[in-house]
Amino acid sequence: MAVADSDASRFEGLDLRDVKRLDDGSALIGRPDIDVVVELIGGIGTAGRLVASALDAGQSVVTANKALLARRGMELEQRARDRGAVLRFEAAVGGAIPVLATLAGDLAANRIDRVRGIVNGSTNFVLTEMSEAGAAYDEVVARAKSLGFLEADPSTDVEGRDAADKLAILIRLAFGAWPDVTAIRRAPPALRGDGPAGITGVTVTLIEAARRERLAVKLVAEASRDGAGVISAWVLPVAVPVGDPLARTAGAENRIEIVGHPVGSVAFVGAGAGGAPTSSAVLGDLLAIARGEGSTWAGLPPATELPAERLADGMDVARRWLTCDLPGEGGFTSATSLADLRARLTGSGLNATLFPILEGD
């Protein structure tokens, strides 16, 4: 057994007797005495080369790398299948929450209609703090950075890219196809064009307008499939009725809901990140490989690549919208399609951002 980290200080305090210490994970690739490579480097460059070459060498791989899977999932799945190698990635979505293997296993007999959830604890922490303390976005983001909830460069989280990566992986397990993650909508629509991506346009004023309507603002990721096989997918700040369990999902917690037939609705709640919860998923994958359970998708048909025309942004339906960018219209809501709303209000000369209101089922 060997452990590699280019930052040797990460070994301090660990009992590594009988474990070889290396400074570069690539030294583990292709070695006949290494059956399984666990990639926890992150990023898509070095980690991507390492995972691809391990699979090509027939080694099993466990990874928590959602950015890599969301961008190269189709190719890595193909490599694993071609070489008969195992690729498991439970920790990539929902940290401790056992949702991927459950979709591929216990729920495999279902036709999945929708996956929806709060899959980024950092942004949920920011929105919860803004809502409970009435603190401004910049102030809360600075605090979240100092507490380690956000990276020094928080854009991957606050612009919704991390949540979109996780949604792409959920789409593969729920609907059998890898989507183009860059085509998943992350910016709420505006009267003209789009508003700011992810939670970057959420203000305390918006949160208070939502509260007056008995709504809470949450960054939600959703993918649903219609009868024609078109998948509508988005990651957006939406207004959720305060009684909805999504609205009550607080701080760094994650919640993932699955709707399917015949199962109905099931939900998973737990810590979405952090060393201890994430290690639960990584070690679970290692034990699954030891038991011979195969890849995370084992038992499901090989994935296809989702054609662009079968990926929609889900905005083109009649729904209520929340905005406070229209003077005198604080918390304005209107049950209408985006096209109708734009046609009716474009003459105002404003460019209000429109946040979808998620109605209860």
Ligand X SMILES: NC(=O)c1ccc[n+]([C@@H]2O[C@H](COP(=O)([O-])OP(=O)(O)OC[C@H]3O[C@@H](n4cnc5c(N)ncnc54)[C@H](OP(=O)(O)O)[C@@H]3O)[C@@H](O)[C@H]2O)c1
Please report, as ranges, the residues that interact with ligand X according to CB under 6 A. Answer: 4-7, 10, 24-26, 40-42, 46, 64-66, 91, 95, 273-274, 278
Strand pairing category for 215-225 and 111-118? antiparallel
Q: What is the DSSP letter of 323?
A: B
- For ligand X, give the closer residue by CB, 64 or 209: 64
Assess contact for 236 and 188: CB atoms under 8 A.
yes
Least spacing, CB of residue 189 vs ligand X, in Å = 29
Q: What is the DSSP letter of 112?
A: E
Distances (CA, A) of 155 to 72, 159, 160, 195, 198: 21, 5, 8, 16, 9
Question: Could you tell me which residues come within 8 angstroms of residue 78 by beta carbon, excluding any fewer than 6 positions away?
Answer: none
Distance CA 266, CA 94 (A): 15
- For ligand X, give the closer residue by CB, 119 or 246: 119
Distance CA 143, CA 148 (A): 9
Phi, psi of 305 (to 5 degrees): -90, 130
Phi, psi of 212 (to 5 degrees): -60, -25
Least spacing, CB of residue 265 vs ligand X, in Å = 25
Segments in 84-134 forming alpha helices (H): 100-104, 121-133
- For ligand X, give the closer residue by CB, 5 or 313: 5
Distance CA 30, CA 62 (A): 15
Phi, psi of 72 (to 5 degrees): -125, 20
Least spacing, CB of residue 100 vs ligand X, in Å = 12
Least spacing, CB of residue 177 vs ligand X, in Å = 23
Task: Report the residue number whose CB is nearest to ligand X.
Answer: 42
Catalytic site residue 66? no
Least spacing, CB of residue 242 vs ligand X, in Å = 29
Catalytic choice (20, 66, 145, 166):
166
Assess contact for 279 and 96: CB atoms under 8 A.
no
Distance CA 298, CA 292 (A): 10
Cross-strand pairs, 224: 114, 232
Question: Could you tell me which residues come within 8 angstroms of residue 43 by beta carbon, excluding any fewer than 6 positions away?
Answer: 65, 67, 68
Half-sphere exposure of 38 (CA within 13 A, CB side): 18
- For ligand X, give the closer residue by CB, 25 or 73: 25
Least spacing, CB of residue 272 vs ligand X, in Å = 7
Burial of 102 (0-12, 13-18, 19+ CB in 10 A): middle
Least spacing, CB of residue 149 vs ligand X, in Å = 10
For residue 197, the tally of other CB atoms under 10 A from its CB is 20
Q: Which sequence positions are flagged as catalytic?
A: 166
